[in-house]
Amino acid sequence: MTKLSVNINKVATLRNSRGGDVPNLLKVAKDLQFFGAEGITVHPRPDQRHIRYSDARELPAVVTTEYNIEGNPIPEFMDLVLSIKPTQVTLVPDAEDAITSNAGWDTIANASFLKDTIARFKVEGIRTSIFVDPNLEMIEAAVATGTDRIELYTEAFAHHYPVNKEKAIAPYRDAAILANKLGLGINAGHDLSLDNIAFFAQEIPGLLEVSIGHALMSESLYLGFETVVQRYLSHLAK
C-alpha cells in the first residue's frame, strides 16, 4: 500500500504568523501520526518562513513513523540533514525565493552534483529521493545518481485532471513503468488532493509514498469548521 506522509509546513506558517507556539508543531506531528499518518514531511527553506531549522531538529523526538526532510541541498541544508539523519531526504531544486517547488531536477546537467550529494547521505544510512518531472529521459538518468527513489512532481497532473484525467495521468504512468523497470522507488507529491488522489494512486504502479501538505491542511480546515463552530456555540450557550 502507498504510505501517506503529511507535510506540516503550513502548520508552521500559521504559527509563525502570530508568533508564539500556537499551533504547536510537535503536538500536531504527534497527533497526525495518531490519526494514521505514516510519515511526517518538512521542507525548511533558507529564510525559515515556515519550518525552521530548529523545528526540524526537534521533530525526531515525536516522529515515530517516517521522517522526510525536503529541500535544496545547499550547505546549510546538508549539515542539517546529516546531523538529524532522518528516514529520507528528498532533494528539490527550488530557488531560495521560490513560493513553492516548481520543477524537477535536470538529472543530466546535474548528474555529478547529485551523485556526490546523494553519496554523502547514503553513507549515513539516509534513504534518498530526488524530485523529478515525468520525463523519461530524466528518470533514466536518475539511476546514475545513485538515488533510492524519485518523487514525481505532480502539479501538471493536478492542473489537468479536471479537464482530462486520462491525458493528465498518461506521462506519470509511463514514468512509473520506467522507474519500476530501472529499480527506482516511486514517491509523488505536489497538489495531490482528496479530489484526485484515488485515481492517481490506482494508476501509478509501485507508488510507495505520497507527500501531501497544502491540500490536506486546507481540506482539514474546511472539514473541521462545523465541529469547531458548534463547540463554540455550545460554550457560549452555558
- Selection from 101, 99, 91, 88 nearest residue 154 by Cα: 101
pLDDT of residue 210: 96
* CA atoms of 133 and 107, how far apart (whole Å): 10
Give per-residue burial for 203-217: e unless 16+ CB within 10 Å, then b: bbeebebbbbbbbbb
Domain ranges in the chain? 3-236
- pLDDT score for 94: 79
- Look at residues 194, 225, 189 and name the one whose alpha carbon lies nearest to residue 204: 189
In which residue ranges of the chain is pLDDT below 70?
A: 95-102, 238
Is 155 a residue of the active site?
Answer: no
Q: What is the CA radius of gyration of the chain?
A: 18
pLDDT at position 99: 47
Question: According to the model, what pLDDT value does residue 235 have?
Answer: 87
- Rounded to the nearest 10 degrees, the angle between the axes of helix 9-18 and helix 25-34 is 150
Would you call 137 a catalytic residue per the annotation? no
Residue 235 designated active-site: no
Only one residue has cell 530501472, namely: 182
Could you say which of 43, 50, 66, 209 is catalytic? 43
Domain 3-236 fold is: TIM Barrel (3.20.20)
Which pTM value belongs to this model? 0.93
Residues 6+ apart with CB under 8 A from 110: 93
